[in-house]
Structure 1
Amino acid sequence: MYRHAAFFVTCLAMVPLVLGVVLVEGESPLHEQVALALTGTLVLAMLMLLRGWHGPAKTLVGLALLPLTLALASYVLPEYWIPLSQWDAMSRGLATGLTLEDWRPGLLTTIALLLLAMLVATRGRASQGGPLLLLMTALLLGIQALLDGMGLDAQLPRSAASPWSTLAMATLLTGLCVAALPGWRAHAAALRRTLTPSLLLVLAALLLWHHQKGVTTRELHATTETEARQLGDRLMREIFDHLAAVERFANAWTLTDTPPSQAEWDRLAAPYHHDFRYLLNIAFVDTDSRIMRIYPPSDSNRQVLGARLFDAQPAGREAVRRALVEQRIGRTEVIMLLQGVPGIIHYLPIPLDERRTLGAVAMVISLPMLADTLFSEVDTQHTSLLLTQGERILASQVPDTRLGPWQHEVQLDISGIPLRLTIQPSHSRLLEQLPRLPMVTLVTGLTLAYLLYLVLHGYIRLAHQHRRVHATNNELRREIRTRSQLQEEVEWLARHDELTRLPNRRLFMETLAANATRRPLSVLICDVDHFKRINDHQGHLVGDRYLEQLGRIGRDVVEPWGGLFARYGGEEFVAFLPLADSVRAREIAEALRQRLLDAALLHHDGRVLTVSIGVVTLTHGPLDIATLMQAADDALYRAKAEGRNRVKVAQALNTVEGA
């Protein structure tokens, strides 16, 4: 049932995959297409596993693991190990113009797909960390959905996938859970003890990753902002130095009262132009606002020689007038220069006296050249630069690479003219500078949580097996003790009489044989007189009670002499008396007979129960048990024949060796 349900749920994962491909109509980014393709590969592998096609399923999982492993390595390996440019070079080996960021899924997507691949490969077994892998994947998918829903995935680096990929992975995860659920039930007790600490470590890793990610992102943002501000400060210092130099240049001409020649002008202007490359030209303007001298003598500059600025450049007329008439420094706004580019012109007067002016020095700043000077200090292949005045774009440099999410604006004051410099680093440059610590922390934390789960699960399983083995050993010990007791009881019953608890005939014979060398050796055979009447008239219970009583009496009489009193069979009892001669044996037999009389065990007619005893003693020679017992039995027969309730002693035996 679970297998069919898992197959059905896994098939449902194809729906968001198809929708993710169809609805975007090929407009989705390559990394999203890669995420959809890898998810689809794992879905197919899971369906094959559920159908029992393990070989092809493992092949598909291996194909999915290769790009996922490379993607994860690119996230966690330090930049000085494998720089991003090398990753891009390897990517371009797959397709022209392809970069790592083009095809690499987001960090959380990559980890979630790796966990799904592990779940498919292990089929979610609890012993191989299936429950923890499932919960970690669910947490990562939840964070992806949250980031995508809040629009926070534009941060560095990319973390989440599209909703379609997330939904497909969540559906596949549900199918894996349904398929593995029956196997988890057998480990329910162990799972509760292993999942809690492992999940706490996972949550700690996610929180630490989030914190470090925020810290490193803010630090990188602050670093790029500081670099932008420093770039603006350098430009401002450059402008201030330029103005000071212009004033020195203009003051140099106050020492003469004649307009400079072209050679003199070139000689003095050349060092200033060399130091300030963004100067389009340095010109001498006469009192009629005509451009009389200009440096450098480029084609575009020679074309403006002789031009009357009052007429040719109305936008700068006020600045020219201020320098020529008022003998004050004049500065234009950002205007279109005669050379056809935007720029700013500084006019510095060359006074002859308080009322007369020789002319003015025009320092022409080309904003494109100024931007080029500024941009030369920046890696323009990885940085976008935009110089604007209000909404007007004065100069721009935009690289072909993907730009990062941050723009830094620096306000510039070019001699009182407000300009704005916008700096935007490329995405790849930011990734190069971004520390890998948060990604390493996340991957390390998840790995440690997984290893902790495996260790705890293995420990708990070993402890459970140890308890089972211990219980089995205890049960085995109890069984051994029971069997030993039964064996002892069987052995005891084999040599004792169950009713009287006396040794039986076998034990008697074994004891007799064991004392074969002891002399003298006496044997008694006792037979209860008319015992059949007891059973016939008073019942077997009474008969058994009388036999038990006789057994106790016989043991009390015989054992103090070192002998053995045994039940021979029926109402017959025997006694073995080592080192007892015939006189002593007779005395013991008489004591036994008298003790039974004193017990007053009565027949149904009131007569006292009695016993007849035959005694035999072996004094010399080897033991012949049959002969010995026969002699005792003959003595018993004579006691019965002479009236019972008496002791008869057989003639002492003296056997011959080998007879």
Structure 2
Amino acid sequence: MYRHAVFFTCLAFVPLTLGLASVEGKHTQHELVTLGLTAMLTLAQLTMLLGGRTLARALVSVALLPLLLALASYALPEYWIPLSSWDAMSRSLIDGLTLEAWRPALLATLGLTLLAVLIMTRTRSSLGGPLLLAMVVLLLGVQVSLARISLGAQLLRSAGDIWITLAMAALLAGVSVTALPGWRAHAAPLRRALVPSLALVFVVLLLWHHQKSVTERELRAATEAEAYQLGDRLTREIQDHLAAVERFANIWTLLDTPPSQAEWARQAALYHRDFRYLLNIAFVDPDSRLTRVYPASDLNLQVLGARLFDAQPAGRQAVSRALFEQRIGRTDVIMLLQGVPGIIHYLPIPLDERRTLGAVAMVISLPMLAETLFNEVDRQHTGLALAQGDQVLASQESQALPGPWRHVVQLDVTGAPLTLSVQPSHASLLQRLPRHPVVTLVTGLTLAYLLYLVLHGYTRLAHQHRRVHSTNTELRREIRTRSQLQEEVEWLARHDELTHLPNRRLFMETLEANTQRRPLSVLICDVDHFKRINDHQGHLIGDRYLNRLGRIGREVIEPHGGLFARYGGEEFVACLPQTDSTQALAIAEALRQRLEDAQLQHHDGKVLTASIGVVTLVEGPLDVAAIMQAADDALYRAKAEGRNRVRVAPSLTTIERA
């Protein structure tokens, strides 16, 4: 895995080199910056693989600074930090450098930032490594999809070029190779945290793309509407001009002679003041000669006296319509006598129905008209062009980088079809572009990352809880087992394993426990000739007979509050607190009789019997050895007298005789 990781990481330098060669000399600083940052992260990953963690983290930190600045410039609103401030900050580093010139594409910025975090955290799953890796894969996929769109047609540069994408993919492969084996061991917990987080990333990317498309479409529609408004203002200006020209012409219908130069200048000055784009206002006599002109500039005085039929053939038809047909004549866009393109309106001044005093010539200079229109817009951030067909009549180039959108408005200037082209600058469009799609993207990815951390932490806690619960269950089971074993050990320590009766130890403890209770009787029972059972019928029969005797003893002794125990071999003992000698004798006799009635037989058919010795302590201190010896003596006497009988111990000072 280590060799594969090094191989893929080194492979990233191939597209980086090819990308550097492809942008050399093209003044694409942003691609050079992106390639440089990718190379720095690739070197950091390679250094991390070789063990230089401190140097790797330093390289990542250096790369993160411009990436975070670029990301902030994408996300922060214009009213917080305007684009001009970002440009001023860029120019403070390199003279003439603007933000858009060096800033990497949005998705490339995000992808490189996530790769930097992956390298810094060494792809640990507890720090979001799997989700960060999946995010970079998705961002690369979106970059490939957006790469089909011409980068020049995009307002906000979103995707890097193919070489940057390939380099990031190779670096991502190198990071993945080292991380995947460690994640595979925890596949199920990681899947539970990764799937919902990744679903949120999908939704965020779709929402970002939708908002990006909508905001750019709305901005384009807004700038197009502004272009049409500009064209409408130009059209209204021409219409107002024509209405004014008609009023001006009607003034001279009251005269029978041509106006003097002073009269002409006095009236024309009022109209020229309102319509600054008029090159001149001239009086044309019936022979088409220019006899009066205002303003009396050197350029206009040069054409004074010219016969229009001869000097301007392109406008002959319009002049004839005014002079001979008494109708308004309009020229197409022609070259004026002053050497500039323009349009001339000829308005007749009739004397009667057949005669004409002359005509008023309103000469519109299209460059001056365009200049009047251009003054209404920001010259620094808007490119304008007024054209007729392929001929550009007037133009204004934007001082800033032109934007991707050119709006063409069709105009009808008194019958002359013109086109007005409006192209806002890239900077002015970026200033007006809403930031909420980028904010949505960054915020959504951050929330997905936090969701992963929460789910991963919850999954780990749940796993630890299950382990603790399992350990506690095992511990409780072990405690129960040990308790059961302890109880069994304690029970075995005080009970006979064969008959399940209390043994000698428990019998002695019971005697000690009844030290202060009087009277206290003790019985010793011995099976007569029990050895013959084992010798002739076997130990299994002997064990069965002992069990039967044990049950009989418990049935007889325990109802009287006593304890019946196996003393050893075929000997059994009983402790009867608060039982005097008479009661003890009766109980012992009942025990003997019950055994005899049980018809447990020897090999020769004789019934199994028992001999019992009884002793009762009426008062005085308890001497266990003495009382047991007295009971044993009574038992011995019962056996000596022929067995199958009950005998009471001989008289002692502390023992009542029967």
CA contact (8 A) 2:379 2:399 kept: no
Query: Could you tell me which residue of structure 2 aligns to residue 21 of structure 1?
Result: 20
Deviates more, 1:47-56 or 1:350-359: 350-359
- Write the deviation string for residues 465-517 of structure 1: whole angstroms up to 9, x where unpaired: 33333333222222221111111111111111111111111111111111111
1:178 maps to a residue whose letter is V
Given the two structures, how large is their TM-score scaled by the length of structure 2?
0.92
State the distance in 2 between where 1:450 and 1:357 align: 86
Alignment of 1:467-478 (within 5 A): 467-478=466-477
Unpaired segments ≥5 residues, structure 1:
none
1:628 maps to a residue whose letter is I
1:590 maps to a residue whose letter is E
Alignment of 1:486-635 (within 5 A): 486-635=485-634
Deviates more, 1:146-155 or 1:616-625: 146-155
CA contact (8 A) 1:523 1:575 kept: yes
CA shift for structure 1 position 561: 1.8
Deviates more, 1:644-653 or 1:405-414: 644-653
1:558 maps to a residue whose letter is I
Alignment of 1:260-659 (within 5 A): 260-287=259-286, 289-324=288-323, 327-353=326-352, 357-655=356-654
Alignment of 1:43-442 (within 5 A): 43-151=42-150, 154-287=153-286, 289-324=288-323, 327-353=326-352, 357-442=356-441
CA contact (8 A) 1:618 1:652 kept: no
| Matched-pair identity in % | 74
- Write the deviation string for residues 599-646 of structure 1: whole angstroms up to 9, x where unpaired: 344444555444333222111111111221222223333334444444
State the distance in 1 between where 2:307 and 2:337 align: 11
Given the two structures, how large is their TM-score scaled by the length of structure 1?
0.92
Deviates more, 1:93-102 or 1:293-302: 293-302
CA shift for structure 1 position 322: 4.8
2:439 maps to a residue whose letter is V
Over 3 Å counting, the alpha-carbon distance change for 1:149 and 1:411 in structure 2 is closer
User: Residue 143 of structure 2: SS of its match in structure 1?
Assistant: helix
Over 3 Å counting, the alpha-carbon distance change for 1:646 and 1:322 in structure 2 is closer
CA contact (8 A) 1:322 1:330 kept: yes
Over 3 Å counting, the alpha-carbon distance change for 1:34 and 1:654 in structure 2 is farther
CA contact (8 A) 1:528 1:610 kept: yes
CA contact (8 A) 1:582 1:652 kept: no
CA contact (8 A) 1:58 1:121 kept: yes
CA contact (8 A) 2:151 2:157 kept: no
State the distance in 2 between where 1:392 and 1:153 align: 26
1:62 maps to a residue whose letter is S
Deviates more, 1:60-69 or 1:532-541: 532-541
- Write the deviation string for residues 584-608 of structure 1: whole angstroms up to 9, x where unpaired: 2223223333333333444445554
Pairing 1:42–2:38 present: no
Count of residues in correspondence between the two structures: 655
CA contact (8 A) 1:136 1:202 kept: yes
- Write the deviation string for residues 139-194 of structure 1: whole angstroms up to 9, x where unpaired: 22112112213447723322111011111112222233322212322332234444
- Write the deviation string for residues 27-47 of structure 1: whole angstroms up to 9, x where unpaired: 262222222222222222322
User: Residue 153 of structure 2: SS of its match in structure 1?
Assistant: coil
CA shift for structure 1 position 321: 5.0
State the distance in 1 between where 2:256 and 2:578 align: 167
CA contact (8 A) 1:500 1:551 kept: yes
State the distance in 1 between where 2:180 and 2:627 align: 82
Deviates more, 1:366-375 or 1:141-150: 141-150
CA shift for structure 1 position 274: 0.9
Structure 1 vs Structure 2 CA RMSD: 2.7
State the distance in 1 between where 2:611 and 2:198 align: 90
User: Residue 593 of structure 2: SS of its match in structure 1?
Assistant: helix
CA shift for structure 1 position 652: 4.3
CA contact (8 A) 1:147 1:153 kept: no
State the distance in 1 between where 2:353 and 2:647 align: 179
State the distance in 1 between where 2:266 and 2:187 align: 93
2:505 maps to a residue whose letter is R
CA shift for structure 1 position 231: 1.0
State the distance in 1 between where 2:410 and 2:572 align: 130
CA contact (8 A) 1:153 1:160 kept: no
State the distance in 1 between where 2:452 and 2:208 align: 20
State the distance in 2 between where 1:142 and 1:46 align: 22
Unpaired segments ≥5 residues, structure 2:
none
State the distance in 1 between where 2:266 and 2:589 align: 164
CA shift for structure 1 position 316: 4.0
